[in-house]
Structure 1
Amino acid sequence: MTFYRGRFAPTPSGPLHFGSLVAALASYLDARRAGGEWRLRIEDIDPPRCPAGAADAIQRQLEAFGLHWDGPALWQHDRHDAYQAALTRLVDQGLAYPCSCSRKQWRDYPVYPGWCRQGVREPGRPVAWRLRSDLGLRPVMWQDRLFGEQCFDPADLGDVVLKRKDGLWAYQLAVVVDDADQGISDVVRGFDLLDNTPWQRQLQHALSYPEPRYLHLPLILGEDGQKLSKQNLAPALPTEDEAVRPLLHGALTALDQAPPAELREAPVAEQLAWAIDHWQVARLSAEPHRTHGADAALPD
């Protein structure tokens, strides 16, 4: 590979937890092993979900684990004009349309049934903007670096929202525009986002953007079998060095990299140097990893 640029793109709705660390670490190691760049993007397009100080706390956590990014961080709150330009292009192609429908109105359907495709159903009401999933690239196929060949018909997934009724931008459009503008060649992220990829491939195709390679990682589960997440009150990552070292070792273990036991208390820089030299995607298991223990850092 002649060029590699990866990224970590957290939503600052709270501090990072162990599942976030595993995703960030895999993305970082994949980039560094390839001799590439690793960028940071703060996905703060939903201000009500992003308390003051959360983004700064995330950056401190990454730095504590030695995960230093290249160049300045990209902040989505600065990106309105880029998203609007992309939406305008989609509208001009007939691939995006305004929709007045509420989730309550179509709750009896598995996906939004496209009622506003031929015109707004309730003129005068606030509208969201949706992607015409039945048009454009179909089916969507790609080779995931862990989960292998993937094939989806985006029409089965429904017409995803690109811009919300409250005027805020939605994830699917923002992530595609930002990946293209940042020149991201490789996306490494959790398995829970795999079924978002068909919409993102459709958007990349419609907007004539390059298509990054994808590596989706197995989920990190808590003791209760649920995905570790902020919503499930997963513990925040510490920043104290004595707590960081074993957690970093635990994250490497969760990524099936089999770090030597003697590295558990080694300095962060030493652990990362070993991990970059030994990083192998082929070691990754596709099975979810369950954690145990109070610190949720020790995989079974």
Structure 2
Amino acid sequence: MREIIIIGSGPAGFTAAIYAARAGLKPLLLASSVEAGGELMNTTEVENFPGFPEGIQGPELMMKLQEQAEKFGTEVILDDVTSVHLEGDVKTVETGYSGTFEARSVIFATGSAYRKLGLHDEERLSGRGVSWCATCDGFFFKTKTIAVVGGGDSAMEEATFLTRFAEKVYVVHRKDSLRASKIMQERAFGNDKIEFVWNSEVVGISGENAVEALNLRDTVTGELSELPVQGLFVAIGNDPRVHLVHGQLDLTADGTIAVQGRSSKTNLSGVFAAGDVIDPHYRQAVTAAASGTVAALDAEEFLAALDQAEAELHADDLVPAK
């Protein structure tokens, strides 16, 4: 029986593991067999994570977080969780190859996945001009011409933010009107650096070692065209990874795991959540790490209360009857 199992290996998961391990809880962290390290494994330079003034590569940052967690006693297994049973005092976690594990508490730090266009070149040029996070990568596009794909609030927010760095920002949208809120539309329409490309979808990305142009198709006429850009930001939404907890944990209207206030406590005792899987707004490595800290401290407090209750019950059993 484990004290704590952490599901997920991004900044939230590994930070929770560091804190739990330093508390002597000997956590088991289950990282994906193919996506260990989370979204930062697809990021090149990370310049906004505290403590690295010269920046650090995303994969290197995740390696350091894992090393730190293991240093204090975290056991890391690269395997995929296939199902969980979270009700009751004993939580059960089943994996694809490593068997079934039991624990008194579980932390979900499964993150979220950016929606992608589904193009081959999108993956090939990831980190070479293709990005899903303006806050993370916008700085690298100073004086460049870039494009943002999407028509919602997140796309307008990304495009507006990127005008701080880029010389020109195209917003490519498959329709002739936006679904973004009125205030976000007004900000984008009022920005001289933003130009809209209506009724268009990206069907290809050109460039050998970096993005050079987008191949567009008119959604009304079918006509093909090319848009020269040096960067592409895909802002068509993201999906929290909550498939394991459907029917067990309460979810918010945004589809994230619901927690109590600023805590990591879910609707089930002994089950906690942290990182992007509870955060539909900020989705930054540093906020995920902070959230992982909260989850570990909440879990530690929960386990301590359990131990105290069991000790008191045992003490009562030892009191001789009068």
TM-score relative to the length of structure 1: 0.30
Structure richer in helix, relative to its length: 1
TM-score relative to the length of structure 2: 0.28
Structure richer in strand, relative to its length: 2
